[in-house]
Structure formats: structure tokens, C-alpha cells
Amino acid sequence: MLDFFQMIASGIAVGSSYALMGLAMVIIYKTSEVVNFAQGEMALVSVFLTFMVLEFHGLPFYVAFPCALLFAIFLGCFLEFAVLRRAKEPNVLGMIIITIGLEMILMGLVSWKFGADPKSMPFPISPYESVSIGEIFVSSLEVLTFIVALTIMVILFLFLRYSKLGIAMKATQQNPLAAKVMGIRTNRILMITWGISSLVGSVAGILIAPTTMQPYMMWDPMLKGFAAAVLGGMTSLPGSVFGAYMIGIIENLFGGYVSIEFKSVVAFFIIVLVLCLRPSGLFARHYVKKV
């Protein structure tokens, strides 16, 4: 029984990083209805920028971390302005293909600049320090990731629900033409959305980096974050977080009781199952457009 609760706790801990990636993907989808498969690699660039500032320039973490977040915002805004906005007669499929192309380009740039060898991220909290809750042990870094994920979810929920910018983002997603008529600068809203999404994804990447840091480190969290967003609903922030923790727990239990080799398959099985039974996800409503 103790092993069961330990696996539950570990699943919640790993689900926090999936939750951050899921939140980042939902933010863009809520505004543009585009699934951003470059989300992980946008975070990857910010992670390696943090590493470069810490290792090569010798600056402390409290300086490198804000610099990385500012760069993440700039990168997201730049990619939307310089690449996505330049697409002629864009459709959802074309935009998704563009994000996959951006993913390959960003991963290639990081591999070219820093090489494929694993790196060690200097982080204030060691991933090997643990805290005990009764007889259950969780690393300090996992506790921090859990707190950060929930904090960001609450901030984003309040931001989208009550701020003028958040309401403008929802209006842009629901009807871009009507939003323009009402005076909303939809292009600027999309650019800001990409910046915010890049910021959230970069926080996830920086929290993952102390455990594993190499050019392919964000591939798995990005796919699990996407699976979480599909499970909870691509337009639901709380749903994506709930889905992330469900995937973390289920795959941990599957790895512990069934097979560790097929542990990563669970997320993709969940994607197929949810899309077949409830395409809108558990917490989102399914709308049918009538012509």
C-alpha cells in the first residue's frame, strides 16, 4: 500500500511539469485554435539561454532566470510576428505544419550551438533533495514545480476572466472579425498570446532542466502536456491541469504494476481514447457550427 501512495505522489509530482506545458498550449489554442507543437522547443531555447548566462557569463541565478523569462516573451512574440503572421491564406492545418517546422529549426539550432551531450543546469534547489510526507518522499524540486504549476494556473484563470486583455484574447478566439469590428487589435492580441505561452513553457523547461538537460529534453513533456490538454479540454485551463495530473498518476501506476517499458504509451492511448469518446475533452464544451 505504501508503494501505491508513493507512486501516486510521484505521478502528481511529474504531472506538474506536464501541467505547465499543457497550460502553455491551451493559452495559444484558446486564442487562435492552433496547436503549437513548437512549444517545447521554444522553452528549450530559453533553458539553454539560462544555462549560457549561468555558465559562460557567471551571472547568478536570480539574474539569469528573469533574463530567460524576458527572452521567452520576446521569442514567442517574434515567432508570431515574423513567421505565423506572414503565412498567406492560413488554415489550421497549415499553421500546425508551420509550428512543427519551427520545432525542428529551434531544436537544430540548440543542437548546433550546444551539442547533443547532456548538460548540468546550476539550480538553487537540488533535484536530489527530498522532503518526507509521512513515509512518502518527494523531491524538493518536484514540490516547487507543483506549487509553481498551481500558482500559474490561478494567475492565468484570473487574468483571462477579469482583465481586459484576457477578455480580448477570448473574444479573438471566438470571432476574430467581430473582435476587429469592436476595436480589438487581433494581431497584437495573438502576438501577446504567443509571448505569454512561451513564458509559461519556459518556466516548465527551467524546472525540468536540473533533472535532465539535452536538446531532446522537452519532447516528452510537450507531448504529455498536449495529451493533458486533450484530456481536460483544449480550451480549459483547469482541465489541462487536471488532465496532466491524471496522466502523471496513470502512467506511474502503469509503470509500477504493468510494464515500465510501455509507460510512455499511456499518454498516447489516452489521446486516442478521448478523441474517440469525447473530442472536446472532459472539461470543455463541444460546439457545432451550423451554416
Residue-by-residue DSSP string for 150-161: HHHHHHHHHHHH
Asked whether residue 128 carries a pLDDT value surpassing 50, the answer given is yes
Q: What percent of the chain has a predicted confidence (pLDDT) above 70?
A: 97
Q: What percent of the chain has pLDDT over 90?
A: 21
Closest CA to 241 of 230, 251, 252, 228: 228
pLDDT digits (tens, 9 = 90+) for 204-256: 999 988 888 888 888 888 988 998 888 888 888 888 888 899 888 888 888 77
Distances 267 to 23, 201, 247 between C-alpha atoms, Å:
16, 19, 6
Cα–Cα distance measured from residue 231 to residue 244, given in angstroms and rounded to the nearest whole number: 8
Other Cβ atoms closer than 10 A to 182: 10
Angle at 87 between CA 85 and CA 88, to 5 degrees: 120
DSSP string spanning 203-255? HHHHHHTTT--STTTTHHHHHHHHHHHHHH-TT-HHHHHHHHHHHHHHHHHHH
Reply yes or no on whether the pLDDT at 268 is more than 50. yes
Q: How far apart are CA 125 and CA 144, in angstroms?
A: 9
**Residue in the structure block whose three cell numbers are 501506476:** 253
Q: For 82-125, write each residue's pLDDT tens digit.
A: 988 888 777 878 888 899 999 999 999 999 988 888 888 888 88
Chain centroid offset of residue 153 CA: 12
Choose among 287, 286, 262, 258: nearest CA to 274. Answer: 286
Is 287 a residue whose pLDDT tops 70?
Answer: no
Residue 202 pLDDT > 90, yes or no? yes
Measured in whole angstroms, how far is the alpha carbon of residue 233 from the centre of its chain? Answer: 14
Rounded distance between C-alpha atoms, residue 248 and residue 237, angstroms: 17
Mean pLDDT computed over 149-173:
87
Which pLDDT value is given to residue 291? Answer: 44
Which burial class, exposed, middle or buried, applies to 128 when counting CB atoms under 10 A from its CB (0-12, 13-18, 19+)? exposed
What sign does the dihedral 157-162-166-170 (CA atoms) show? positive
Q: Is the pLDDT of residue 45 over 70?
A: yes
The residue type found at 139 is S
In this prediction, residue 42 carries a pLDDT of 93
Could you please state the CATH topology (level 3) that the domain comprising 2-277 is classified under.
ABC transporter involved in vitamin B12 uptake, BtuC (1.10.3470)
Inform me whether the pLDDT recorded for 290 exceeds 60: no
Chain-centroid distance of CA 2 in Å reads 31
289: pLDDT strictly greater than 50: no
Q: What is the mean pLDDT of the chain?
A: 85
